Amino acid sequence: MDTLTLRFRQHAFQVVAWVSLLLFVFCLVLGIMFGNWLSVLLIGVPSLVVPFFLYKLLGDHPLARISYGVSFMFFAALQIHQSFGMEEMHFGIFVYMAILFAFRDQWVIITAAVVIAVHHLLFMWLQQQNMGVYLLPEEYNTLSVVMIHAAYVIVEAIVLVVLSRQALMEAKVSQALFDATDALVEQDGSIALNKRATDVNADVIHSFNKVLASLQTTIKTLNQAASDLHVQSDNLSADGKSLAAGMEQKLKEVERIAAATEEMSYNLAGLHKLAAAVADYASSAEDAAISGQQSAQTTISAVEQLSIQLGQTGDKVNQMAVASTDIRKVLDVIQSIAEQTNLLALNAGRDRERFLNNKRSV
């Protein structure tokens, strides 16, 4: 618990140390005013020095804190004594107890209240016994007045105890939160969510630790999701690279298609020219076809006339065929006559040769 209260307690020790020094100086001033230096040396010096050395020796220890509570009440008693029981000096008790609230330690307040109560009762009796110590003016140095003072001190002590307990818990909560916040940030700037605030049995700390636990779980989930996302990103990157390579290949193919399309465009231009030439040729052919059609019609007319003429010629040929038949018959008769004539001539020749042969033989 000391580690939680160390920061504000250091500040409290600094405050009470300076106040203690001021109280000692004030006692010196009163010593000058009322001529009682010996009491300043006997009471003031130990009240100033002892708590300071206890703090330096023990640090934030209950004994060091309580020693300042006792010291402040000793200064209050010393000032009352130096002023020969001046009632106004009693107000310093309430002021000093309020300053001791800086420790937020109920035992410091309780100890201071007990010390000043013992002081009042003891000094009341010693003053009544003419022992050379002073608490109140003689006419007010009665038990009833002392009890009135004690009642006020008790009321203030109770209030300060209640407030100190509450303030101490708030300080512990604040310190725990500060320590946890500092512990969350590592030296490299990273956040260590596994740290927790020290449990001081406060709802705020419990809620804070629950928030840290929930945040840690959320961060773990986010880290896992980020890791999965990183893997997916790597996969997407690989897919993207593959897609880029594919797109580059497709781009090359598109470039080839573009080149082929350009070549086709040139070819289409040539085809267009060729089509134009063909159209011209077709137009010429159409003209030739029309001319041919006219020639064909003329030819058909000529053929028809030729057909008529051929019909007439056929008739003449038929007539000539009939005449040829008659001629052939005549020729056959002539041939028969010729054959007979040749036969007769042959026989005549043979007879002549035979005659000649016979003539020679004679």
Q: Could you tell me the residue range of the domain that residue 112 belongs to? A: 2-184
Residue 116 counted as domain residue: yes
- pTM of the full structure: 0.57
SS3 at position 185: strand
pLDDT at 2: 46
Residue 37 counted as domain residue: yes
Residue 18 counted as domain residue: yes
Residue 133 counted as domain residue: yes
* Cα 322 from Cα 328, distance rounded (Å): 10
Low-confidence stretches of the chain (pLDDT < 50) are 1-2, 278, 282
What is the Cα gyration radius of the chain? Answer: 75
- At residue 185, φ and ψ (nearest 5 deg) are -95, 115
Residue 100 counted as domain residue: yes
* Cα 228 from Cα 235, distance rounded (Å): 10
Residue 297 counted as domain residue: no
Residue 322 counted as domain residue: no
pLDDT at 121: 95
Residue pair 156/97 in contact (Cβ under 8 Å)? The answer is yes
Number of domains in the chain: 1
Residue pair 225/216 in contact (Cβ under 8 Å)? The answer is no
How far, rounded to the nearest angstrom, does the alpha carbon of residue 21 sit from its chain's CA centroid?
59
pLDDT at 278: 44
Block residue for tokens 């076809």: 289
Residue pair 68/16 in contact (Cβ under 8 Å)? The answer is yes
Residue 338 counted as domain residue: no
Instruction: Please provide the size of the chain in residues.
Output: 362
**How far is residue 199 from each of residues 103, 166, 170, 173, 195, measured CA to CA in Å?**
21, 16, 13, 9, 12
